[in-house]
């Protein structure tokens, strides 16, 4: 399969909805999605159903806030879903939604300046319609652009994240099947090593089995990005593993690859109990849910870049901390 029809459907949907007046987005979406479209988004949106509900709750308010919005894609791909036996077809895009932050959104005060909302979207296509979507976006990064600091200082760096170093992530044309198979195998090898953090090797040796030494891990705001295996181990993976226990098994709803790119998402991916220290927060006896999207670029036999979207607002809400409510009561710096 080359997935060209599915890719074209999603691209036409983007072109029509992104250029529509906010009041018309629901009608536009109805041309491309099923009436019972299942949409999953980060907190506070969570699960929505049908084009009008998604338009009213998410797209119209966002478009009113980020005026003159542009979709700036860095990765676009499609593939069959390994988790259902390669039965369903998914089209994935990743990048930024950029606009002028002119009116409040989610209680975040506008700046009147350019703002970037990191996003990644998985769309399941069946019978010529988008029937299911996971739309993940980095709200804390938007907060930071508005002068708010929702979390204590992060262990790594966070920027407006670039796309792939190779500038070849927009797979509008069909890709060799064997390259996607190699990428999916590399992702699965990494997941197999990850397991429940009990492979038994020193962390850097474990990572070196499936990652190139000059890997880049583009983490979400609050954690940040880090470069090379050594710094990734010190600045995220090591501290993260040390701060959690009772990690559940991985539960992906979709895992796919095309060409040198691939990724997955879960709802949630896994649960774990926070023993204290992660992002400067106290411990909790309540298991927290990690809703995650990971997008990968493979170079050779190993993974080279990884873009991560974690619903930290939802995770911390399960731990009794409402970041959105707290930030609305903090003056902007």
The pLDDT score that the predictor gives to residue 250 is 85
Percent of the chain with pLDDT over 90: 84
- Tell me the two tokens of residue 312: 């930290």
Determine the Cα–Cα distance for residues 165 and 264; give it in Å rounded to an integer: 20
Asked if the domains at 4-145 and 177-327 fall in one CATH topology, the answer is yes
- Tell me the two tokens of residue 8: 């074209």
Q: What is the pLDDT of residues 179-201, one digit of tens each?
A: 999 999 999 999 988 765 566 78
The pLDDT score that the predictor gives to residue 158 is 74
Q: What is the pLDDT of residues 114-138, one digit of tens each?
A: 999 999 999 999 999 999 999 999 9
> What is the mean pLDDT of the segment spanning 157-163?
85
The C-alpha angle with vertex 217 and arms to 267 and 275, in degrees rounded to 5, equals 60
The pLDDT score that the predictor gives to residue 329 is 64
The pLDDT score that the predictor gives to residue 176 is 97
The pLDDT score that the predictor gives to residue 330 is 58
The gap between the terminal CA atoms of the chain, to the nearest Å, is: 51
177-327 sits in which CATH class? alpha beta
- Tell me the two tokens of residue 207: 């990572």
The pLDDT score that the predictor gives to residue 142 is 95
pLDDT of 332 over the 60 cut: no
- Tell me the two tokens of residue 301: 């036999």
Rg from Cα positions in the chain: 19
Percent of the chain with pLDDT over 70: 97
Question: What 3-state DSSP class applies to 232?
Answer: helix
The pLDDT score that the predictor gives to residue 193 is 87
The pLDDT score that the predictor gives to residue 247 is 86
Contact call for residues 301 and 21 (beta carbons, < 8 A): no
- Beta-carbon count within 10 A of 154 CB: 20
Which of 171, 164, 167, 5 is closest to 92 using CA atoms? 171
pLDDT of 150 over the 90 cut: no
pLDDT of 166 over the 90 cut: yes
The yes/no answer on whether domain 4-145 falls in CATH 3.10.450.50 is: yes
> Cis omega before residue 65 (within 30°)?
no
Q: What is the pLDDT of residues 89-118, one digit of tens each?
A: 999 999 999 999 999 999 999 999 999 999
- DSSP conformation class of 83: G
Half-sphere exposure of 235 (CA within 13 A, CB side): 21
The pLDDT score that the predictor gives to residue 198 is 65
Q: 185 vs 25, 212, 241, 322, CA distance in Å?
A: 39, 15, 24, 38
Contact call for residues 323 and 310 (beta carbons, < 8 A): no
Contact call for residues 150 and 158 (beta carbons, < 8 A): no
Q: What is the pLDDT of residues 58-75, one digit of tens each?
A: 999 999 999 999 999 999
Query: Edge to edge, what strands does the sheet with 292-299 contain?
Result: 225-227, 211-218, 302-310, 292-299, 261-266, 252-258
The domain locations on the chain are 4-145, 177-327
Q: DSSP letter string over 140-200?
A: HHHHHHTT---SSPPSSB--S----TTS--B--S---HHHHHHHHHHHHHHHHHHTTS-S-
Question: What 3-state DSSP class applies to 75?
Answer: strand
Q: What is the pLDDT of residues 248-292, one digit of tens each?
A: 888 899 999 999 999 999 999 999 999 998 888 889 999 999 999
pLDDT of 149 over the 90 cut: no
- Tell me the two tokens of residue 319: 């731990």
Please give the mean pLDDT across all residues of the chain: 94
pLDDT of 220 over the 70 cut: yes
The pLDDT score that the predictor gives to residue 326 is 83
Q: What's this model's pTM, rounded to 2 decimal places?
A: 0.95
Determine the Cα–Cα distance for residues 259 and 247; give it in Å rounded to an integer: 31
Q: Which residue has the tokens 């997008």?
A: 295
Higher-confidence position of 29 and 201: 29
- Beta-carbon count within 10 A of 205 CB: 12
Determine the Cα–Cα distance for residues 207 and 181; give it in Å rounded to an integer: 21
Which of 226, 264, 256, 240 is closest to 315 using CA atoms? 240
């Amino acid at each position: 399969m080359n997935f060209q029809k599915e890719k074209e459907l999603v691209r036409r949907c983007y072109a029509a909805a992104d250029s529509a007046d906010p009041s018309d987005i629901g009608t536009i979406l109805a041309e491309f999605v099923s009436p019972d479209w299942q949409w999953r988004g980060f907190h506070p949106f969570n699960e929505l159903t049908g084009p009008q509900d998604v338009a009213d709750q998410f797209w119209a308010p966002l478009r009113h806030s980020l005026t003159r919005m542009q979709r700036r894609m860095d990765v676009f791909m499609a593939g069959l879903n390994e988790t259902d036996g390669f039965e369903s077809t998914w089209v994935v895009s990743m990048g930024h939604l950029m606009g002028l932050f002119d009116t409040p959104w989610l209680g975040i005060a506008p700046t009147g300046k350019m703002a970037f909302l990191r996003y990644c979207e998985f769309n399941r296509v069946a019978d010529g319609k988008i029937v299911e979507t996971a739309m993940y976006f980095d709200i804390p990064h938007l907060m930071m652009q508005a002068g708010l600091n929702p979390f204590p200082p992060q262990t790594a760096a966070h920027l407006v994240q670039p796309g792939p170093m190779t500038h070849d992530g927009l797979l509008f044309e069909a890709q060799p099947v064997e390259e996607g198979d190699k990428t999916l195998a590399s992702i699965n090898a990494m997941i197999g090593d990850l397991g429940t953090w009990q492979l038994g090797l020193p962390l850097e040796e474990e990572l070196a089995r499936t990652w190139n030494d000059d890997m880049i891990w583009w983490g979400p705001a609050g954690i940040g990005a880090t470069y090379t295996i050594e710094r990734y181990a010190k600045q995220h993976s090591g501290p993260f593993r040390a701060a959690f226990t009772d990690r559940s098994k991985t539960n992906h709803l979709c895992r796919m690859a095309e060409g040198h790119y691939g990724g997955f998402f879960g709802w949630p991916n896994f649960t774990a109990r926070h023993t204290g220290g992660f992002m400067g927060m106290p411990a909790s006896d309540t298991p927290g849910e990690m809703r995650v999207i990971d997008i990968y670029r493979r170079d050779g036999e190993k993974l080279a870049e990884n873009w991560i979207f974690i619903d930290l607002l939802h995770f911390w809400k399960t731990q009794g901390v409402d970041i959105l409510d707290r930030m609305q009561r903090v003056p902007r710096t």
